[in-house]
Structure 1
C-alpha cells in the first residue's frame, strides 16, 4: 500500500472503545468527549530529506525508483460534534514518532486516549520499524531528517489543523527534540517525558560506560528477531542480571565480546561505531535555545536514569525565559510515564495547543505552579514558581574514621587517619537500587546490604535531632589515593530509617583514569570533587544520613578492569586499593544544599 492509495478510515471497534475507556480511567483522565476514526497511511520521505541523514546504508524503500522511503503511520481523527450536532474540527494535531511499533500498548497511551478527547494524532513509526521502508533502524541517526520531513508533509495535508504539538517519553521524547531542531513552524507545545537530548553524554559522560544502551539494543534486536515476548522495558528488566554477567566477561573476554554475547547476534554497525568512538550520535542541545514560543512540559522522576538531562533541559529553557513546566515525582523511568503524567500532559495540550475559544479551556483548572516537585522524605508535593537552589545553605559533614559522619572534624591534624577497601573487577561491587532503564528501576530499594560489603566504605551520622531538607546537588570531596591510576569512584547518599533500612537518595560516578584524576601509589592525597545527582529530600528527625564510597557499580556502569587497556577490547583485570583520608588538612566531606 503506497502513500498515493491510502486505506480508508475505520471506526473504533467495540473492544477498542472498552479498552480505551478503561485505560483513560486508569490514567485518571477526564471522560472521553468524542469518538474517533483510525486510518493506516504511509508518509513519503523524499530523497532530499533522507539524504541529510547520517546513515550511509542503502535504502530499500517500496518505491520502484527508490527516490523516497515511506514511514508507516496511523492517523487518529476525532469525530467532534457541537451541541447542535454539527461537525467540529479537532482541537489540534499531535505528532508522535516511535520505534516501538504502532499497536497496543503504545497506541493507547500515546494516541487513542487523546483522540478520544478531541486531539488529532499522527502516530508515525521510525525508519526501518513497524513496516516502514528504509534501512534497518539506526537510533537517533535519522530522526532529525525524518522528523522534519514528517512535520512538513503533515502540514501540507487537508486534515491538518494549523497548530501542532508533540508528546512521548524516553526515545519518543528524544524524537521530539530531534524533530523540533529542524521543524518549528506552527509548533505550539512539546511534552517531554523522561527523555534525553544527548546520547553520548548519557552513555559516556562519567568516563565509564553506562550500558543501558546495550540493554536497549539487545531488547530491540530480540524484538526484530521475533524472539522477545515482552515489550523492551520488561525485556531489559528480565535480562538485567544476565547482562551484568555477560559484560563482566568472566571467561576472559573483552567488553566488546561480552556485549555481543548479550545481544545474541552481531553488534549493529551503528552501535559498534558509536561505542568505539568512530561515529557520533546527533546532539540536540542547541534546540533548547531554538524553541522560542513553544511551551515545553518536562516530566522526570527522582529515580529516572535521564534525570540529569531533564534538569539541564529545564534550566536552559528557564534561563532563556521560555514557557516551561517541570514535574519531578517519586518515579523511575517507566512509572514517570504513568497516570499522573498523562493527566498533566493532557492539561498541557488543552492549555497551549487547543484554540483560545475551545470549550476545554473554560473547564481547565490552572496549573498550581510551573514547577511541581515531590519531597521524597516528607512524601509530599511542593509547588514552586521556578526551580531555584541558589538560596540553599551549604551544610558540611565530614567523613571520619570508624564509619562516622559528623558536622565537625573529629580527627585532629596530628592524628589524620585513613580507611581503605579493595575493588576486584572479577567480583565488582554490584548495583543496588540505582536508576536504570529497566522496568523495575525507581523502587526505593533497600541498599543496606551495599553498606555492609567489604569493598565499600560507609559513613553514617547519629540520629538527626531535627529535619534536614536538601534541595539541589550534594557534593562529595574526597582526599583519595588509589594503588594505581586505573580506577572508578562511585558515591551515593542514602537515608537510613530508624529501623536500619536505607534507601539511596543521590548518587554520582566518575572514571578517574579517563578524566585525568588517577593517582599513583604513594602520591599525597588530593581532593576529588564529585557532584551527585539533584534531589529534594527531607531527612526526618530520628533518621540518619549515610555516604557510601565504592570503586564501582556494576552494571549501572561497566566495571573498570584496572588494567588501563582499551575499554572495549582489553581483557586483563587488576584489583585496585582505594584509600580515603580523614581529619586535619585532608578532611573528606559531604556538602549538602540545605534549605529552610
Structure 2
C-alpha cells in the first residue's frame, strides 16, 4: 500500500488494504453500440488470484481524485476496478457531453465488454456517487446476472428531474453543475474556477431572464441548462432518462447511502420505498452528510468492500438491520427495520401570534405579514447544496434577523424531543400577487441562541384568497435536547438555491420583471398553520 493509501485509510477509517501492489492500464477502448469508442482505466491487484470487478461510469474523468479514491483504494481491497468515461468526456467519443443521454445503452455496452475480459471472474458490482450513481440505476432493472450488487450513493434514479418540479428551479445546483461540466476539460479548469469562474457563476444566477443564465456564466448556451429550464419533471421530454418508474423491477441487491443534507435525499428515499413496495430487501444508510461530504464517500467505500464484496464472491455479508440512521442532536447511529421507522406519529406544533410555536392552536390571532422583494431576495443559508462550501447545518441567526423572514419559536423544552421520519408543514397564507414561493425551515435553537437548520423545502404557490399550502420538508432524524427550543422559519425565497419567484404569471425561463409581494401567514383557530413532526 502506498503512503497516500495509508493516509486515506486512516482519514476515512476504511477497512485495511489486503493487496500490497496495484497496477493500472489506461485508455482502454470500450465499444458502444453505435460505434462510438468509450475510454476506460483498469485498476487491478498485482499478482495471481481472481477478484470481482467494481464498475464506475463517470463524466468527471478517470484520473485525479476519482481514480485514486475509487480505483486505487478499491483495488487495494481486492477488486478489479474499471472506470469508464461517459461519452463526450475525457477522450470518450460521441461529440459534446449531453448529460443523461444514452447512458443506459452505454452502460450495457460496458458490461458486455467486461464479460469478455480475460481477468473477469464473472462478478461485478456497481458503485459511485451522484451522476455515478445514476449510471447504476439506468442498467439496474435489466442488469445481466453478473451484476451482484449496487451501491448508489447520494443519487437518484431520475437524477436532474429531482430538481425540476413544475414552476420551481433549483438554480444553484443547475447552473453550477452546468458551468462545471461545460468547462471541466479546459486547461487548469480547477484553478480557473477558483480565480474567477465561481464568482462569474454566482453573478450569473442573478441574470434575468433565467434563459440567459448560461450565456452569463459561460458566454454561450449549454444544452443541459436549457433543457432543464424548459422541461420540468413531468414533461415526456425526459421519458428515456427517467428510470424511477422501473425501480421496483430491480432484482440486484441495493444498498443506498444518503445524507440528511443531501440534494437527492427525498428522491433517494423514494427509490428505497419503491424497492420495498416491490418486495425487495434494500439496505439504507443515512448520515449527517451534505452531498460531497468525505465521510459519505467513506461509507460508500465501506459498503462496497464489506457488503458488496462478499456478495460478489458468493459469500454472505455480516448481518445489519436494513436501515441505519445517524440521529443528529445526540450524535449516535441507530438501526431500524424500515423507513420511516415504526412507532413515530405526527405531532402538530402550531404557528402562533407573537412569533410563538406551541402544541395548542391559536384563537383569534391576526395574521403575521412580511414583504418579499425579488430585487433583494431572502438568501439561502446552509442546507442541501451541491458544493461543500456553506452546505449542511449552519447558524441561521443572520437570515432570521431579516424583515422578510418570519420565525416562530417554542418555549424551552423540559425534556428531549425525538423526531425521526418525514416532516411536513401546513401553512395558511394570502398574497397580493398571482404567484409566490413558500419556504419553510425547521431549526434547533440551543442555549446560546444559535439557530441550526435541520430540514426544509420550498414550494410554488398560486394563492386564491386564503390558501392552505402543504410543504413536505426533507426527512430527518434529530433529537431536540432538553433546554433547547424549536424554531420554524417562513419566508418566500431561499436564493440562489432556488430561483427567485418574480411574482408574475410569465413562464419561469423568460420572466424578467420583478414584483414585490406581501404575504400574510394565518394562524388562527380557523387557519391553524403548523409543522407536523414525527415523534414517539
TM, length-normalised to structure 2: 0.93
Alpha-carbon distance, 1:341 to partner:
3.5
* Aligned counterparts of 1:552 and 1:103: Cα–Cα separation in 2: 39
Change over 3 Å in CA distance of 1:304–1:273 after alignment to 2: closer
Change over 3 Å in CA distance of 1:241–1:478 after alignment to 2: farther
Aligned length: 528
Aligned to 1:352: 311
Please, which of 553, 576, 587 is the counterpart of residue 517 of structure 2? 576
Alpha-carbon distance, 1:449 to partner:
1.5
Q: Larger C-alpha radius of gyration, 1 or 2?
A: 1
- CA deviation profile, 1:529-557 (whole Å, cap 9, x unmatched): 11111111111111001110100110110
Given the alignment of the two structures, is residue 71 of structure 1 paired with residue 38 of structure 2, yes or no? yes
Alpha-carbon distance, 1:465 to partner:
1.1
Say if 2:424 and 2:470, in contact at 8 Å, map to a contact too: yes
| SS, match of residue 224 in structure 1 | coil
Gaps of 5+ in 2: none
Say if 2:384 and 2:392, in contact at 8 Å, map to a contact too: no
Q: Counterparts of 1:280-291 in structure 2 under 5 Å?
A: 280=238, 282-291=241-250
Alpha-carbon distance, 1:368 to partner:
3.5
Say if 1:196 and 1:306, in contact at 8 Å, map to a contact too: yes
TM, length-normalised to structure 1: 0.84
Please, which of 139, 145, 162 is the counterpart of residue 122 of structure 2? 162
- CA deviation profile, 1:46-84 (whole Å, cap 9, x unmatched): 4xx33xxxxxxxxxxxxxxxxx1111111122235xxxx
Aligned-residue CA RMSD (Å): 2.2
Aligned to 2:267: 309
Please, which of 369, 391, 412 is the counterpart of residue 343 of structure 2? 391
Alpha-carbon distance, 1:349 to partner:
2.1
Aligned to 2:10: 25
| SS, match of residue 302 in structure 1 | strand
* Aligned counterparts of 2:214 and 2:225: Cα–Cα separation in 1: 11
Say if 1:236 and 1:438, in contact at 8 Å, map to a contact too: no
Change over 3 Å in CA distance of 1:237–1:327 after alignment to 2: farther
Alpha-carbon distance, 1:202 to partner:
1.5
Change over 3 Å in CA distance of 1:537–1:117 after alignment to 2: same
| SS, match of residue 113 in structure 2 | helix
* Aligned counterparts of 2:413 and 2:63: Cα–Cα separation in 1: 51
* Aligned counterparts of 2:91 and 2:375: Cα–Cα separation in 1: 44
Aligned to 2:301: 342
Say if 1:248 and 1:426, in contact at 8 Å, map to a contact too: no
Aligned to 1:267: 221
Q: Counterparts of 1:410-429 in structure 2 under 5 Å?
A: 410-411=362-363, 415-429=364-378
Alpha-carbon distance, 1:461 to partner:
0.3
| SS, match of residue 190 in structure 1 | strand
Alpha-carbon distance, 1:321 to partner:
2.7
Aligned to 2:530: 589
Say if 1:483 and 1:578, in contact at 8 Å, map to a contact too: yes
Alpha-carbon distance, 1:24 to partner:
2.8
Q: Counterparts of 1:79-94 in structure 2 under 5 Å?
A: 79=46, 87-90=48-51, 92-94=52-54
Say if 1:297 and 1:345, in contact at 8 Å, map to a contact too: no
Gaps of 5+ in 1: 1-15, 51-67, 81-86
| SS, match of residue 483 in structure 2 | coil
Say if 2:352 and 2:365, in contact at 8 Å, map to a contact too: no
